[in-house]
């Protein structure tokens, strides 16, 4: 790929020098040599465009694969979360609060979203932490990440 970039730079340099030569009335090569160099420069630029197209197509294909993997991982994360919520016997309200907490929302944001007091959210998060046997959000999130990493390592 670096070779193609170098060829394109040489081609651009050639065309730029040709324009400057025309402006200042310089003709360092005979017209036959000049035409051959111009043909080579044009082919070099076309080669760069062709290879650029190939790289673009490969990048787009890779992007589709990565997006599919992300979609699968997101689904797997939701599955792990549902399993844990069921195992911990969280109430529907606690499930909502746990999900918002895992998403990184603050107590104030969760309270506003659920239209309850911050004290209610704090009580629910404490119940979630107790049921999950963790001391806070960071440990709660790490439970899910640990499970996902274990699933990835076993596949």
What pTM value is reported for the model?
Answer: 0.52
Q: Are residues 117 and 151 in the same domain?
A: yes
Cβ-based neighbours of 149, under 8 Å, separated by 6 or more: none
- Statement: residue 132 has pLDDT above 60: yes
Last residue of a domain, one of 39, 72, 105: 72
Last residue of a domain, one of 44, 72, 100: 72
Q: What is the DSSP string of 41-106?
A: HHHHHHHHHHHHHHHHHHHHHHHHHHHHHHHHHHHHHHHHHHHHHHHTT--HHHHHHHHHHHTT--
8 Å CB contact between 107 and 122:
yes
Task: Please indicate, yes or no, if residue 22 is contained in any of the structural domains.
Answer: yes
Q: Are residues 59 and 112 in the same domain?
A: no
Higher-confidence residue of 60 and 141: namely 60
pLDDT for position 28 = 67
The pLDDT tens digits for 11-22 are 788 778 777 777
Range of the domain at 67: 1-72
The pLDDT tens digits for 40-64 are 888 878 888 888 899 899 999 999 8
């Amino acid at each position: 790929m670096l070779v193609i970039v170098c060829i394109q730079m040489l081609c651009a340099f050639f065309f730029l020098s040709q324009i400057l030569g025309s402006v200042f009335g310089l003709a360092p090569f005979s017209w036959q040599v000049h035409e051959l160099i111009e043909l080579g420069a044009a082919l070099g630029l076309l080669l760069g465009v062709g290879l650029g197209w190939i790289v673009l197509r490969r990048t787009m294909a890779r992007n589709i694969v990565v997006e599919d993997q992300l979609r699968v991982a997101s689904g797997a994360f939701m599955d792990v979360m549902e399993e844990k919520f069921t195992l911990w016997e969280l109430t529907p309200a606690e499930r909502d609060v746990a999900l918002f907490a895992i998403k990184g929302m603050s107590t104030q944001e969760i309270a506003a979203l659920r239209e309850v007091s911050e004290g209610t959210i704090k009580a629910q998060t404490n119940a979630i932490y107790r049921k999950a046997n963790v001391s806070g959000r960071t440990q709660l999130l790490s439970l899910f990440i640990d499970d996902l990493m274990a699933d990835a390592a076993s596949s």
